């Protein structure tokens, strides 16, 4: 009896089907991309194609900025808001860092970039809390402003990160085959998950997202919570942007915006079971989802499918995530009605 | 006394209308740019500038009409410009494969309508958040652009074509003005009448203002929302058609920067972001303001990178004005001190 309920609980977790899909996909990836089907030795499955060290590392590097943004996005979506200016904030933060690093030690430049991030967060907070703009459209507008600034201060060309030897070392350092940066991102994720599920602050986030009115009546300050969330988001986005530029030793005014890690992060967050309207979710599901999305597009890439199919599939994935969210929401609502009528 | 009444009854209502404010802003902007351009030794107040402005609003006008109608019912379609680019690419691909232009255009608009219907069903029936589902659709549409070009020519690339019909649509002139301008004006008038004078338009406004009340009053809100999504997508397709016709090329990255143009113009033009308020006249003037601003900046010689910054700011300012007016509308008026005294 007890065992069955544990099994049921695992199956009910939103991450479980994703994990199963991921494992199947990994196996397919190992078989399809290693050339085993064309007569290569079976041991190639673990050393060539998808599993080749360079490929895996490239994927891990790609995930760093996505995971950073995902932590913030998941939190802000749990509280029932959204920030779509993450990519632009990350770019502008990285450019501020790169320009400051020319004239001062890189530690100080990082500090300035984070101060800028706090300012970005405060600007968003001001628009949503004081001016009462809908967070969606306000952050889109501000993202266009930041994107323009990025081009204005650079004239449209990339900025080399000068003298940042220590900084670039972060970008390329590895423990074994795993980049230090990736480990750092995972640690960040674990900390956020801990805060979400184990602390009073985390509980208050769920409450504010699930029932804003109730939260206010219970004495929570939704405006202050929103401010913390927006600042957190901006800081994480800029952190992601810094790590992204550390990989390349340069800050580019458009490359983060065009590779759209915030969109991947958002699809992953939804796919991983964070409700779009707030109030439920965790970070484990989104992590599995982000790996799933990257592995998926990587397989398509390795199989030589055109990049346009990947764009199409990104859109389809986002819609699939919405469908899953919809199905689980209706199921939960039905279960609640059933439970209510039972008594 | 009589003069004062005349002022109160006739002039004040006009002044209080949003469109009056907008026209004042537009005129102020033209004057500002004229002075600014003169100060840097350029000429803004010239027929060629105004012709440029008209030419530049043709494509975005259809986007604005579609986005505006949708916004009145309280929804947003972020995929609209991508549907337009897809429509343009389909026209190019069909003409390249020797289909007549009429068939190509109809086919493109039908594809847009189908995608719009998908959007509408997702938002109205499945209750997906409009922002996020249409954002997903915009990626899907962008993928389709590449794929349709690949199907037509064997590789995903821009398609050049030459066709008299599309050439006439894109660069033909009538009475010294581009043909597209006439289409635009006709569309604005038709949709303006539809929204402000017909029963259907009243229903649209009602659905946007209070969907629950509209449903209780017997209006099929879902049907109207789905229709408006289809309408927005088809108008996006028309915009894409004009865009493609002008350059005689199906471009892969077409209309990439137009994602928020229609939305911005509609919000500047006083169509409230929450739905239920606004009309086509305001949207038209909003569009004029947006494009006068951009063309003015380029005439004055501002770095084009700044225009992205300033367009974003313009959207935020328009949002601010919208929010401010909504707050003022719903604020309970306190009785003035002297009236209270009189009552006492």
What is the end-to-end Cα distance of chain B in Å, rounded?
A: 29
- Quick one: pLDDT at residue B132? 78
DSSP string of A133-174? --HHHHHHHHHHHHHHHHHHHHTTS-EE-TT-HHHHHHHH-E
Contacts of B319 in chain A (CB under 8 A): 131, 133, 137-138, 141
Residue A108 CA to residue A126 CA, distance in Å, equals 27
Higher pLDDT, A94 or B318: A94
Residue-wise pLDDT tens digits, A114-153: 999 999 999 999 988 888 888 877 888 888 889 888 888 8
Q: Is A148 on the interface with B (CB under 8 A)?
A: yes
- What tokens does A276 get? 């779009």
pTM for this prediction:
0.79
Residue-wise pLDDT tens digits, A46-99: 777 777 888 888 888 888 889 999 999 999 988 888 888 898 999 999 999 888
Chain-centre distance of CA A334, in angstroms? 31
What average pLDDT does range A316-333 have in this prediction? 76
Q: Which run of H or E residues covers position B250?
A: strand B249-250
How many C-beta atoms lie closer than 10 Å to residue A7's C-beta? 10
Band the pLDDT of B335: cuts 50, 70, 90: low
Closest to A259 in 3D by CA, of A300, A304, A295, A310: A310
Contacts of A305 in chain B (CB under 8 A): none
Higher pLDDT, A17 or A213: A213
B 208-267 residues with CB below 8 A of A?
A: 260, 263
Band the pLDDT of B333: cuts 50, 70, 90: low
- Measured in degrees and rounded to the nearest 5, phi and psi for residue B45 equal -80, 80
The C-alpha angle with vertex B290 and arms to B201 and A144, in degrees rounded to 5, equals 105
Closest to A134 in 3D by CA, of B131, B231, B217: B131
DSSP string of B276-302? S---HHHHHHHHHHHHHHHHHHHHHT-
- What tokens does A207 get? 């409450």
What average pLDDT does range B92-116 have in this prediction? 87
Q: Do B132 and A276 touch (CB under 8 A)?
A: yes
Cβ distance B263 to B71 under 8 Å?
A: yes
- What tokens does A267 get? 């699809």
- Quick one: pLDDT at residue B341? 47
Looking up tokens 């499955």 gives: A45
Residue-wise pLDDT tens digits, B207-254: 888 888 888 888 888 888 899 999 999 999 999 888 888 887 878 777
What average pLDDT does range B109-123 have in this prediction? 90
Closest to B128 in 3D by CA, of A79, A327, A128: A327
Contacts of A137 in chain B (CB under 8 A): 263, 273, 315, 319
DSSP assignment letter at B334:
P
What average pLDDT does range A259-282 have in this prediction? 81
pLDDT beyond 80 at A38: no
Residue B221 CA to residue B226 CA, distance in Å, equals 9
- Quick one: pLDDT at residue A2? 53
Residue B56 CA to residue A266 CA, distance in Å, equals 34
pLDDT beyond 50 at B343: no
Q: Do A311 and B142 touch (CB under 8 A)?
A: yes
What average pLDDT does range B319-344 have in this prediction? 62
Q: Is A155 on the interface with B (CB under 8 A)?
A: yes
pLDDT beyond 70 at A12: no
Average predicted confidence (pLDDT) for chain A: 83
Quote ipTM for the complex.
0.72
Cβ distance A299 to A320 under 8 Å?
A: no
Residue-wise pLDDT tens digits, A217-249: 888 888 888 899 999 999 999 999 988 888 888
Residue of B nearest to A314 (CA): B139
How many C-beta atoms lie closer than 10 Å to residue A233's C-beta? 28
Residue-wise pLDDT tens digits, A283-302: 888 898 899 888 888 888 88
Residue A24 CA to residue A19 CA, distance in Å, equals 9
- Measured in degrees and rounded to the nearest 5, phi and psi for residue A189 equal -60, -45
């Amino acid at each position: 009896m007890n065992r069955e309920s544990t099994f049921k609980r695992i199956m009910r977790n939103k991450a479980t089907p994703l994990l199963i899909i991921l494992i199947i996909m990994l196996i397919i990836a190992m078989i399809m991309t290693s050339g085993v089907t064309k007569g290569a030795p079976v041991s190639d499955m673990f050393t060539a194609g998808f599993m080749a060290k360079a490929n895996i590392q490239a994927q891990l590097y790609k995930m760093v900025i996505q995971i950073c943004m995902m932590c913030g996005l998941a939190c802000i979506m749990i509280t029932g808001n959204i920030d779509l200016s993450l990519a632009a904030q990350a770019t502008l933060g990285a450019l501020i860092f790169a320009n400051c690093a020319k004239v001062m030690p890189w530690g100080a430049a990082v500090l300035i970039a984070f101060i800028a991030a706090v300012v970005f967060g405060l600007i968003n907070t001001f628009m949503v809390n004081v001016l009462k703009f809908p967070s969606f459209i306000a952050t889109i507008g501000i993202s266009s402003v930041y994107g323009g600034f990025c081009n204005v201060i650079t004239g449209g060309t990339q900025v080399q990160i000068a003298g940042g030897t220590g900084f670039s070392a972060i970008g390329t350092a590895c423990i074994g085959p795993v980049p230090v940066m990736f480990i750092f991102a995972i640690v960040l994720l674990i900390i956020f998950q801990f805060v979400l599920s184990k602390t009073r602050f985390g509980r208050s986030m769920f409450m504010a997202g699930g029932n804003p009115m109730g939260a206010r009546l219970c004495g929570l300050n939704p405006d202050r919570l929103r401010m913390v969330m927006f600042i957190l988001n901006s800081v994480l986005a800029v952190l992601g942007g810094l790590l992204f530029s550390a990989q390349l030793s340069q800050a580019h005014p458009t490359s983060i915006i065009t590779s759209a890690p915030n969109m991947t992060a958002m699809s992953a967050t939804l796919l991983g079971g964070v409700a779009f309207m707030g109030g439920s979710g965790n970070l484990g599901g989104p992590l599995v989802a982000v790996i799933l999305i990257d592995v998926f597009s990587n397989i398509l890439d390795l199989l030589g499918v055109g990049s346009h199919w990947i764009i199409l599939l990104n859109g389809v994935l986002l819609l699939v995530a919405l469908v899953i969210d919809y199905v689980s929401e209706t199921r939960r609502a039905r279960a609640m009605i059933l439970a209510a009528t039972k008594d | 006394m009589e003069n004062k009444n005349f002022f109160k009854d006739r002039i004040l209502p006009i002044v209080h209308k949003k469109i009056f404010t907008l026209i004042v802003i537009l005129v102020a902007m033209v004057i500002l740019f004229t002075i600014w351009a003169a100060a840097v030794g350029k000429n803004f107040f010239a027929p060629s500038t105004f012709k440029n402005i008209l030419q530049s609003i043709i494509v975005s006008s259809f986007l604005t009409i579609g986005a505006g109608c949708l916004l009145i019912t309280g929804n947003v379609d972020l995929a609209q410009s991508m549907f337009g680019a897809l429509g343009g690419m389909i026209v190019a691909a069909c003409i390249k494969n020797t289909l007549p232009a009429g068939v190509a255009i109809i086919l493109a608009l039908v594809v847009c309508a189908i995608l719009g219907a998908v959007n509408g069903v997702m938002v109205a029936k499945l209750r997906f958040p409009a922002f996020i589902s249409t954002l997903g659709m915009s990626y899907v549409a962008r993928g389709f652009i590449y794929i349709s070009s690949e199907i037509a020519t064997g590789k995903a690339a821009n398609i050049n074509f030459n066709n008299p019909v599309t050439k006439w649509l894109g660069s033909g002139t009538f009475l010294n003005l581009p043909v597209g301008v006439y289409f635009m004006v006709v569309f604005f008038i038709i949709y303006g009448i539809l929204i402000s004078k017909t029963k259907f338009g009243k229903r649209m406004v009602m659905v946007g203002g209070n969907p629950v009340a509209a449903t209780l009053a017997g209006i099929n809100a879902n049907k109207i929302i789905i229709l408006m999504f289809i309408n927005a997508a088809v108008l996006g397709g028309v915009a894409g058609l004009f865009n493609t016709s002008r350059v005689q090329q199906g471009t892969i990255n077409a209309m990439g920067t137009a994602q928020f143009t229609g939305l911005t113009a509609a919000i500047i033009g006083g169509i409230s972001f929450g739905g239920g308020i606004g009309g086509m006249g305001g949207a038209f003037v909003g569009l004029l303001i947006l494009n006068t601003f951009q063309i003015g900046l380029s005439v004055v010689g501002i770095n084009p990178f700044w225009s992205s910054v300033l367009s974003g700011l313009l959207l935020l300012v328009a949002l601010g004005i919208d929010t401010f007016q909504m707050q003022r509308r719903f604020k309970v008026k306190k009785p003035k001190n002297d009236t209270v005294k009189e009552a006492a």
